[in-house]
Amino acid sequence: MEKSFGDLLIIWANGWLAAAYWLLDNAALLIAVASAIWITRRHDRYVQRVTGQRTLRYARGSRVIASNRSTLETVVTLGLWICAALVAASPIPAIGALMWLAFIAALHLVPQERDNILFRQKIMIALYALLVIAFRLAMAYAPEPDQLLQMLGGEGDAAAVFATVRGSLLPYAMLILWVMYPLGYFGVIAQRFLINRGSLFKARRNIAEVIGDLRTRGEK
């Protein structure tokens, strides 16, 4: 009885360790998924409600007639990023997680540009995911230099030259994916924050609150 109980305890501990290792290995992807869900439930719904809300006559309430395009854009962007994160090696999944977290921070700190930020950052994340997928496909399915040159009709030392050119382009592609594109993404967010932080309204206040402050001159 003691032996069987010890075996069950070991199995239970191994199960928890396996789950912990899986969560650790996929932490970056899970952060991206959680961030997308947060954006969908909080910001996409808010934008759709504000832009599409119509007040009915005779105080009969209101209804929302806007489409759910913003939510669909988030779902498509998340789907592309999941595909990219599953095929990419470290540190790209971690870079993507930081992108999603910076996305949420921008929506929180610069609410007056919420609509533009939602569209722009989704496009940038989707383009980054497509670049990662294209790079992985090119590396996985690119033919050997000799085979490619035979298809193109090349001969002789051209194969060595082609291999040298492809090897020299690889570091630049990795530099774009690891450094240049992420820096451009974070730079856009930093630029919008620096532009808006010195204006008349404070961070974390939306347009309706700003207009209310201007109308009442800050008085309650």
Q: Which of 169, 172, 194, 185 is nearest to 95 (CA)?
A: 185
Percentage of residues of the chain with pLDDT beyond 90: 36
| Angle, alpha carbons 130-131-132 (nearest 5°) | 90
Q: Distance (Å, rounded) from C-alpha 103 to C-alpha 3?
A: 52
The tokens describing 69, both together, are 């395009």
Average pLDDT (60-85) is 82
Q: Distance (Å, rounded) from C-alpha 171 to C-alpha 130?
A: 18
Q: What is the pLDDT of residues 152-171, one digit of tens each?
A: 555 555 556 666 666 677 88
Mean residue pLDDT across the chain? 79
Residue 203 has pLDDT above 60, yes or no: no
Across 123-127, 146-150, 186-190, 210-214, least confident range: 146-150
Q: Which residues contact 64 (CB under 8 A, 6 or more apart)?
A: 48, 49, 52, 53, 54
What's the pLDDT at 200? 47
Residue 205 banded pLDDT, cuts 50, 70, 90: low
What's the pLDDT at 84? 95
Q: What is the pLDDT of residues 77-88, one digit of tens each?
A: 999 999 999 999
Residue 210 has pLDDT above 70, yes or no: no
Pairwise pLDDT comparison (125 vs 211), residue with the higher score: 125
Across 25-39, 63-77, 82-96, 126-140, least confident range: 63-77
Percentage of residues of the chain with pLDDT beyond 70: 65
